């Protein structure tokens, strides 16, 4: 298995950061990697109410690559974590479990958020995709998402 882990401190409480992250309709305005996020095949679904097993439609724009659509399944949607798993045909071929963790940190009496943004990849294509540089570019994209979310939250709160 191969993993990418990134983190950033955001000057707002976890509930506020999570609220901005789950505002899927606004991702196109700030998110450079997940340029469209929506609940798949459900009309008027509120992102806060997404349950494990629900499917998402996410248009991603990897750094230096063409945009593509993915349809992952939500694993967790709690106050502390939002995660999904996507596969390429079969999990044994290629899969990725993507996770956002909203960790509270108190600094000088102020509650902030440590955003832990990670993905764990599995399947027989992982070595080939690593050799092709997918994971290096993906890590750069994750850091860009982190910075963009930080800016979005801190500018609007």
SS3 category, 108: coil
Where in the sequence is the domain holding 131, given as residue range(s)? 2-156
CATH of the domain at 128: 3.30.530.20
Considering its fold, how many domains does the chain have in total? 1
- Residues 81/102, Cβ–Cβ less than 8 Å: yes
Per-residue pLDDT of the chain (157 residues; tens, 9 = 90+): 799 999 999 999 999 999 999 999 999 999 999 999 998 876 555 666 889 999 999 999 987 778 899 999 999 999 999 999 999 888 888 999 999 999 999 989 999 999 999 999 999 888 777 777 778 888 999 999 999 999 999 998 7
**How far, in Å, CA of 49 to CA of 1, rounded?**
31
**How far, in Å, CA of 112 to CA of 85, rounded?**
27
């Amino acid at each position: 298995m191969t993993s990418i882990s990134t983190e950033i401190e955001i000057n707002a409480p976890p509930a506020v950061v999570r609220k901005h992250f789950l505002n899927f309709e606004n991702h196109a305005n700030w998110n450079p990697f997940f340029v469209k996020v929506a609940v798949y095949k459900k009309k008027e679904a509120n992102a806060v109410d997404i349950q494990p097993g629900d499917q998402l439609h996410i248009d991603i724009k990897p750094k230096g690559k063409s945009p593509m659509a993915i349809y992952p399944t939500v694993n967790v949607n709690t106050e502390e974590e939002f995660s999904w798993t996507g596969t390429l045909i079969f999990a044994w071929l290629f899969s990725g479990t993507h996770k956002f963790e909203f960790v509270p940190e108190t600094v000088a009496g102020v509650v902030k958020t440590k955003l832990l943004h990670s993905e764990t990849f599995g399947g027989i294509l992982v070595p080939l995709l690593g050799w092709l540089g997918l994971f290096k570019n993906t890590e750069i994209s994750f850091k860009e998402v982190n910075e963009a979310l930080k800016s979005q939250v801190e500018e609007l709160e």
